[in-house]
Amino acid sequence: MEFKKSQELYNKGLKNMVGAVNSPVRAFASVGGNPLFIKKAKGSKITDVDGNSYIDLVLSYGPMILGHRHKKVQKAITKALKSGYSFGASTKNEIKLAKIVCDAFPGMDKVRFVNSGTEAVLSGIRLARAFTGKDKIIKFSGCYHGHQDALLVAAGSGLATLSLPGSKGVPEGAVKNTLIANYNDLDSVKAHFEEHDDIAGIILEPVAGNMGVVTPQNGFLKELKEYVNSKGALLIVDEVMTGFRSKFGGAQELFEVEADITCLGKVIGGGFPVGAYGARNEIMEMVAPLGGMYQAGTLSGNPIAMAAGISTLSELKKQNPYEKFNEVAQIIEVFLLESAKKYGVEITVNRFGSMINPFFTNVHVTNFEQAQTSDTKKFAVFFWEMIRNGVFLPPSQFEAWFLSSAISEKDMKKIMKAIDKSIEAVANM
């Protein structure tokens, strides 16, 4: 397998693009080597500029849940293009997609479409502050909510301390109202409330997909919701990644918890840049033009994105692939564990619905600290061997693999073969 053209494009891109990429994970920094440049995709497959074809388990980090270029989505996009690309005005399809989304999430009466998950979270936090009249926000170590200043933070020296900026260019003042807690640790949340009386809300991924599919343990979400609301604060659930991936709706319903504010993205745009935030009426009526919390966007509700979203969600509801996703993910999990045992490699596998991830550690991973015990050098070997055997994975130990309904039995056999060869390569490193 050759990557000559990808190498050439990478070298050419370095001149006018930062690291030749437009998002850091694409640089392959954590796995070594140069990034692959993609030419096209169809169904379960993605093809790079050198003509190498892979079964795609990245799926644009989640939104291509039906596979690439699904015929019904393609048809909807083509039809929408004939009417125009962007109007900066309201369209009928915004209302249609809004109803589909609100109907799928109990407790969501109104929704506002934006252009990305980052924008949805930024707006959701502003809304929580507007509704409560308080300033501070709690986030969990290892949960990623986009690149806004207030959430680009690293944990401080203790659970009840203010956080420090996790990126250059983020002033300490931007994160002075952000507190860090440990995922799956309610006591770390309580410690902040005992020290501060101006906490507007707490934000988390219901399943943390940016530390590698970490699920809530022992009723954590339900207890968190009850406690946070008892303190007059709101629970903001970031379902940008999990929305419509474990069921038609959100992960919160599976965990029997109802968010005060829900943030969405990925699948609801069918591959186009879309985000959304929604809540019950009394909260959403704080948003302009009904209320005093200002948020706007010229491209919000873009007609092409709305068409793709409506078509994707309509087809997804019709297919109802969630039971099959669980079966496929379980097969992959079992095979990973059996292959690792055969070659004497220590791994732990976490999965949730159509999301799965192996950690190269013998530790049961329930938080970011445990996730960081993974041997990233082993993952890098595993990653490149999977690539050489025709399976495209996220180039990071801490990113979830995603499944699509386009994966066939033939694809599964190829995935199993690739896993076995890749685990063997790790054993022989």
Give me the half-sphere count of Cα atoms (radius 13 Å) on the Cβ side of residue 297.
18
Active site residue 238: yes
Q: SS3 for 55?
A: strand
Is-cis flag, bond preceding 289, omega within 30? yes
Give the gyration radius of the chain's Cα atoms: 21
What is the C-alpha separation between 202 and 180, in angstroms, rounded? 10
The catalytic residue among 56, 61, 134, 238 is 238
CB 406 within 8 A of CB 373: no
Q: SS3 for 20?
A: helix
Angle (nearest 5°) at CA 333 between 207 and 23: 50
Sheet with 110-114, side-by-side order of all strands:
110-114, 275-279, 261-264, 234-238, 199-204, 136-140, 178-181
The catalytic residue among 10, 54, 61, 144 is 144
The catalytic residue among 266, 277, 378, 420 is 266
Q: SS3 for 106?
A: coil
Q: What DSSP element (H or E) covers 201?
A: strand 199-204
Amino acid at 401: W
What is the C-alpha separation between 2 and 31, in angstroms, rounded? 17
CB 51 within 8 A of CB 396: no
Q: What DSSP element (H or E) covers 39?
A: strand 38-42
Spell out the alpha helix ranges (H) of 216-261.
220-230, 251-254
Q: List the structure tokens of 117.
A: 């998950």
What is the C-alpha separation between 32 and 141, in angstroms, rounded? 25
Q: SS3 for 9?
A: helix
Active site residue 266: yes
Q: List the structure tokens of 256.
A: 């029997």
Active site residue 410: no
Q: List the structure tokens of 13.
A: 């891109």
Sheet with 45-48, side-by-side order of all strands:
38-42, 45-48, 53-56, 391-392
* 3-class SS shares of the chain: helix, strand, coil, % to 5: 40, 15, 40
Give me the residues paired with residue 140 across strands.
181
Q: DSSP for 140-161? A: ETT----S-GGG-EE--SSTTS
CB 303 within 8 A of CB 93: yes
State the catalytic residues.
144, 238, 266
